[in-house]
Amino acid sequence: MLHLRAIAALAVLAAGPAVAQSQLSIATGGTGGVYYPMGGGLAEVINNHVEGVSATAEVTGASVENMGLIATGDADLAIALADTVQQAYAGTGRFEGQQLPMVRAIGSLYANMVQIVTTADSGIESIDDLAGKRVSVGAPGSGTEVNAQTLLEANGMVFEDFDAQRLNFNETADALANGDIDAGFWSVGAPTSSILNLATTQDIRMVPLTDEQVAAAQEADPTFTSLSLPGGTYEGVDEEITTIGVPNVLVVSSEMDEDMVYQVTRAMYENIAELRAVHPAAEETTVDFTMSATPVPLHPGAIRYFEETGAEIPDDLRE
């Protein structure tokens, strides 16, 4: 379906600038994460507020795949982690030798928050206490696994220091509930359903990071940002928890029509309450967050909207 939509979109563009693109595909992630509901909410905002446009959220393999879909034209918009977006734009890391210079941003939506969960009686109060324990570090190749590895290595610990298990979010929650592991990493928007559900049946504790641990992680990966999980986000976790996260960016191709990007950007920010009603992670979707957290240049259509709002746009976000 994505490929057919891309062909249709290219045919429309080839017909000339006077013909508006009528269909937009939004590459998201799996149905169990935050990308898919956020993408679905954005599609509804576009459908309701951009005249003559029909948008659809598509299930995908998330960040890395989504960048390829933008490059090939098989998706019009996509959500991806900032570190993946930066690597694709620069041709580094997982995109070594496959630079995607056409990548542009509409804005930053929210941050994947590194959430380290244990049971209240585990005795684990810091990441140093993970040594020798059974720890889920996320599904193989996931953003959670990458973030956990970077955080721990920046602070003098490696996966070999404990019994590392590579489980997805639901598997990690089940393993904690069953006593099969001692702690687990999540890198996802908060709150997330698997931890919410776990907290209703188990007394849980969130492992905080110190300011020094946050600084070490940011030195290792500048796309990390310091975040606080508000107290009360999860049942039984009443205190604010200091942690880190990686922003999630809404991206498009530089080839996308400027007026279309302008209309989408304006619709999203001017009707953000509708997106927040779909998922609370969109509470972070602000113009200020975009200006401070976006790793690649903004599309000219997005810049046009932000200039109208009077936003101060950093030089590095302009082409």
Q: Same domain, yes or no, for 224 and 264? A: no
The answer, yes or no, to whether residue 71 has pLDDT greater than 80, is yes
Q: Which of 210, 230, 246 is the last residue of a domain?
A: 246
Q: Same domain, yes or no, for 121 and 228? A: yes
User: Are the CB atoms for 155 and 127 separated by under 8 Å?
Assistant: yes
The answer, yes or no, to whether residue 243 has pLDDT greater than 90, is yes
The answer, yes or no, to whether residue 3 has pLDDT greater than 80, is no
Q: Same domain, yes or no, for 240 and 136? A: yes
Q: Same domain, yes or no, for 67 and 173? A: no
Q: Which of 187, 220, 246 is the last residue of a domain?
A: 246
**Percent of the chain predicted with pLDDT > 90:** 76
pLDDT value, residue 24: 98
Tell me the three state secondary structure of residue 142. coil
Tell me the three state secondary structure of residue 160. helix
- In this prediction, residues 274-279 reach a mean pLDDT of 95
User: Are the CB atoms for 107 and 244 separated by under 8 Å?
Assistant: no
Look-up of token digits 């990458």: 146
Tell me the three state secondary structure of residue 60. coil
Residue 113 identity = M
Q: Same domain, yes or no, for 157 and 238? A: yes
The answer, yes or no, to whether residue 26 has pLDDT greater than 90, is yes
pLDDT value, residue 189: 85
Lowest model confidence (mean pLDDT) among 6-15, 111-120, 192-201, 207-216: 6-15
The answer, yes or no, to whether residue 141 has pLDDT greater than 50, is yes
Which of the four pLDDT bands, split at 50, 70 and 90, describes residue 193?
A: confident
Q: Same domain, yes or no, for 129 and 222? A: yes
Q: Same domain, yes or no, for 302 and 283? A: yes
Q: Same domain, yes or no, for 254 and 239? A: no
pLDDT value, residue 62: 85
pLDDT value, residue 21: 53
pLDDT value, residue 239: 96
What is the domain count for the chain? 2
pLDDT value, residue 4: 44
Q: Same domain, yes or no, for 95 and 200? A: no
Average pLDDT, the chain: 91
Please tell me the pTM assigned to this model: 0.76
- In this prediction, residues 61-71 reach a mean pLDDT of 91
The answer, yes or no, to whether residue 88 has pLDDT greater than 90, is yes
Lowest model confidence (mean pLDDT) among 12-21, 208-217, 267-276, 310-319: 12-21
Structural domain that includes position 194? 112-246
Lowest model confidence (mean pLDDT) among 17-31, 143-157, 183-197: 17-31
The answer, yes or no, to whether residue 144 has pLDDT greater than 60, is yes
| Residue 71's CATH number | 3.40.190.10
Whether residue 295 has a cis bond before it, omega within 30° of 0: no
Q: Which of 213, 246, 279 is the last residue of a domain?
A: 246
Q: Same domain, yes or no, for 98 and 186? A: no
pLDDT value, residue 9: 41
Q: Same domain, yes or no, for 118 and 211? A: yes
Which tops the pLDDT comparison, 155 or 112?
A: 155
Task: Spell out the residues 6+ positions from residue 24 whose beta carbon is closer than 8 angstroms to its own.
Answer: 9, 43, 46, 53, 54, 55, 56, 76, 77, 260, 264
